[in-house]
């Protein structure tokens, strides 16, 4: 606990002298946009259809959950009471959000992955891994992981958001994104079917996701930034 507190404090002090708030927010927004544009390259260069993109966006929910656990661990480290809460809340979040993400993954496979598994009795882990490798999704997943990691370091640690957020707020924060992505999946699927142009429809869906991600990202970090003034 003491080691974590010292590491966070040193990171925060570095950010206070080297990373102005607006610059950090701008840089993390640029990283978010660049990573979200990656699937456009996949559509036109690697020939991605709907399922690989939806699988990629679902994997981002898992990444969001991972970094939310780190946020919960780093939240208010100077408060002894918060560490007592973390002993119970972090395992509960992992189980609850993990189940939520698993159901969302089943939804993605059933709705968009039927053609990928039509020759078998159903989806298998080895087949999902094969789809990931054949479509170069691993590189895209790593890019998403790096983007969220960059935001975690620059916004949450260096800007001191860990001192202004709460465990209860972090417990519920990722679920809103999953619900929005569910709606985007339904809307995107309908849009692609209506336009009868998979490539064009997928690009529009990606643009829609970028807008939703930007709105969520900026609102969240500006809200936490204002609480420090």
- 176-192 mean pLDDT: 71
Q: How many CB atoms are located within 10 Å of the residue 162 CB?
A: 25
Per-residue confidence (pLDDT) for residue 64, from 0 to 100: 92
DSSP readout, 122-180?
Answer: S--HHHHHHHHHHTTHHHHHHHHHHHHHHHIIIIIIIT-GGGT--HHHHHHHHHHHHHH
- pLDDT tens across 52-100, in order? 888 888 888 899 999 999 999 999 998 888 899 999 999 999 999 999 8
- pLDDT tens across 142-171, in order? 988 998 998 899 888 988 889 888 999 899
Q: Which of 43-47, 72-76, 156-160, 217-221 has the lowest mean pLDDT?
A: 217-221
Q: How confident is the model at residue 25 (pLDDT cuts 50, 70, 90)?
A: low
Q: What is the pTM (predicted TM-score) of this model?
A: 0.76
Q: Answer with the residue of higher pLDDT: 117 or 179.
A: 179
Given a contact cutoff of 8 angstroms between Cβ atoms, the answer to whether 158 and 11 are in contact is yes
Give the separation between CA 170 and CA 73, rounded to whole angstroms. Answer: 10
Per-residue confidence (pLDDT) for residue 215, from 0 to 100: 75
Listed by start position, the domains of the chain span: 2-226
- Angle CA 188–96–166, to nearest 5: 95
């Amino acid at each position: 606990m003491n080691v974590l507190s010292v590491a966070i404090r040193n990171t925060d002090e570095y950010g206070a002298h080297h990373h102005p708030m607006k610059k950090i927010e701008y840089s993390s927004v640029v990283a978010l946009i660049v990573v979200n544009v990656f699937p456009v390259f996949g559509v036109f260069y690697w020939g991605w259809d709907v399922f690989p993109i939806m699988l990629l966006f679902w994997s981002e929910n898992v990444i969001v959950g991972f970094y939310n656990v780190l946020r919960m661990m780093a939240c208010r480290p100077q408060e002894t009471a918060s560490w007592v809460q973390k002993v119970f809340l972090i395992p509960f979040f992992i189980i609850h959000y993990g189940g939520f993400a698993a159901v969302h993954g089943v939804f993605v496979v059933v709705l968009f992955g039927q053609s990928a598994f039509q020759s078998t009795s159903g989806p298998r882990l080895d087949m999902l891994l094969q789809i990931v490798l054949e479509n170069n999704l691993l590189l895209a997943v790593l890019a998403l992981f790096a983007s969220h990691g960059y935001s975690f370091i620059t916004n949450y640690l260096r800007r001191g958001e860990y001192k202004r957020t709460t465990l209860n707020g972090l417990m519920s924060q990722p679920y809103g994104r999953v619900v929005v992505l569910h709606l985007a999946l339904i809307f995107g699927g309908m849009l692609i079917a209506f336009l009868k142009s998979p490539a064009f429809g997928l690009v529009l869906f990606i643009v829609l996701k970028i807008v939703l991600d930007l709105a969520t990202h900026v609102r969240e970090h500006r809200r936490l930034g204002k609480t420090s003034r």
